[in-house]
């Protein structure tokens, strides 16, 4: 048997940059119906608006994606924050959807909300 001694040392290493983590803050959610009250009827266009910023009060990058959901069921999916729906100066988001027919969405009361997954977005 032969004993071998290995000297302590270290590798040259590889770089690792730690990214920044932020949260999304949504305020001022409003639903606007053609009648001006809380009732939307089959085939009508309803407008969802909200202010969406990060926890440092910065606007959200255009590549960010959200779903608009009715009681958990998506009615708009993977909506990016492009200039047609998101004001990158104020943080105001405006989404329009058509109230589904009664077979898809029976008469009743529903909660409309945004949902998003964790996303890693390259920001310059």
**Does residue 19 belong to any structural domain of this protein?**
no
Q: Which domain holds residue 40?
A: 24-115
**Does residue 65 belong to any structural domain of this protein?**
yes
**For the domain that residue 94 is a member of, what is the CATH number?**
2.60.40
Provide the whole-model pTM: 0.86
Query: How many domains would you assign to the chain?
Result: 1
**Does residue 2 belong to any structural domain of this protein?**
no
**Does residue 103 belong to any structural domain of this protein?**
yes
**Does residue 66 belong to any structural domain of this protein?**
yes
- By CB atoms closer than 10 A (0-12, 13-18, 19+), residue 81 is buried
What is the secondary structure of 69-83 as a DSSP string? EETTEEEEEEEE--T
Q: Residue 13: what pLDDT?
A: 94
- As averages over each run of 10 residues, the pLDDT of the chain (124 residues) reads 93 92 97 91 95 97 96 95 97 96 88 96 86
């Amino acid at each position: 048997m032969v004993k071998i001694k290995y000297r302590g040392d270290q590798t040259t290493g590889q770089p690792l940059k730690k990214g920044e983590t932020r949260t999304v803050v949504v305020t001022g959610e409003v639903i606007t119906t053609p009648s001006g009250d809380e009732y939307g009827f089959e085939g009508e266009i309803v407008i969802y608006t909200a202010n969406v910023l990060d926890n440092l009060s910065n606007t959200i990058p255009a590549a960010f994606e959200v779903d608009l959901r009715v009681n958990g069921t998506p009615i708009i999916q993977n909506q990016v924050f492009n200039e047609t729906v998101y004001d990158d100066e104020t943080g105001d988001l405006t989404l329009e959807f058509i109230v589904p027919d009664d077979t898809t969405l029976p008469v009743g009361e529903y909660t409309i909300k945004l949902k998003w997954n964790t996303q890693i977005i390259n920001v310059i």
